[in-house]
Structure 1
Amino acid sequence: MRVPELLESAGLLAAEAAATDNDVTVADVWDYLVNDEWDTALDLLEDLGDGRPPPPAFWEAMAEAAEELRMERSAAWCRWRCFEARNGVMRADLTLSPAGATRRTTPVPGAGVLRPMWNIGHHSPTGGPSWSVAALWIEGRPSLPPGGRAPVRLFPLTPAHWRHLRPGDRITMHEDRSVAGTATILEVRSPVAASAARR
């Protein structure tokens, strides 16, 4: 475990002098590290991504640390966030089709392993839909059953195909020709590097 790199990442935390009672500080993270509570320190650092967006290098260091601790889901989450830092964030509200309406009878796994096709409004030269592929991370739960609804994050395999989407747009998920689910875009955020360049 590379303590100096994690502490450098922790530099994104609130400074001690300016911290409020609710802020997580470098000292908080250090306390967990020196007491060998690495998993708690990693959890605190992972939560940083919901405030000021950390750069890709932060998420890469976090993923390596989680892998060393054999925290597979945390490592996958940090790699996902590294992709988002480089390519932008796309969140949606997904409702899966009920059991019996599609081939799927089991819950959709939540940790980015499913890569369904999506109808996002593009058309093929013959006029039919041209589907795009994006992996799916279900927020706050390990899976989503048929008919279930949850906020999700999308990981487009070709991000440029998705740049026309805006909050409120509706897209459909497909595992075959039938509609496996419908989603409404909730958030589209630029890559961290692009955001920093505009400041």
Structure 2
Amino acid sequence: MRADSASYQADLFNYCEETGKTFAIGGKLDAPTLVAIAAIPESAWTHYADCAVAETVQSMEHTDKAFRLIVVRYHHQAELLEEDRPRYHVIASNRSGSTADVLIWYRQRGEHSENGIKELKIGFGMERMPCGQESANSAFFRVGVVAHNLFVLFKHSALGEGWQRHRIATARWRLFQVPGRLVRHAGTWILKVATTVAEDFAAIRSRAYSFIHDPTPE
């Protein structure tokens, strides 16, 4: 589970521990947390270009177990002619691994959740439900989620390198709107497709065929 500080709750931490779930949750800079940060020796900080990172152990009044508290320290200019003052961001976690690994895993939540929701809303028309009945809207939303999942599968199984981070709008534009032109000539509709695009589509078809017959990842 990865979430922001709204989920920084003892009951949630206890639930994750009891059910064997891994969590990384943004913390709150309350008085006990600030005391714990102040107790971290300077030698324990790992310095990067834009921040420093360290960790300690923390607990809450109603948590059954202590947890890791990963601290990111930033410096910013508060006011003109005033000394730089640090600001902190903390992450509570029970995940094993290095401090950097946990921090990277926590920061990936935007790509896997918020951006996925944004893609559903904007790319697949799930921003507004079309009906007044909950059951109909539920069916509509499920169709949208299936379409989204099929598009993700299509990107990873049929499209080449460089496509995996593209949204559905970019794929529609590059695959369907740009490659060809529908023209009318001598009373007949003709689809004109560039030679290079035809080669790309042949490669996509070949990769899709191979995936269907052997979906095991390399």
- TM-score using structure 2 length: 0.23
Q: Work out which of the two has the higher radius of gyration on C-alpha atoms and give 1 or 2.
A: 2
Which gives a bigger RCO, structure 1 or 2 (Cα 8 Å, sep 6+)? 1
Decide which structure has greater helix share.
2
- TM-score using structure 1 length: 0.24
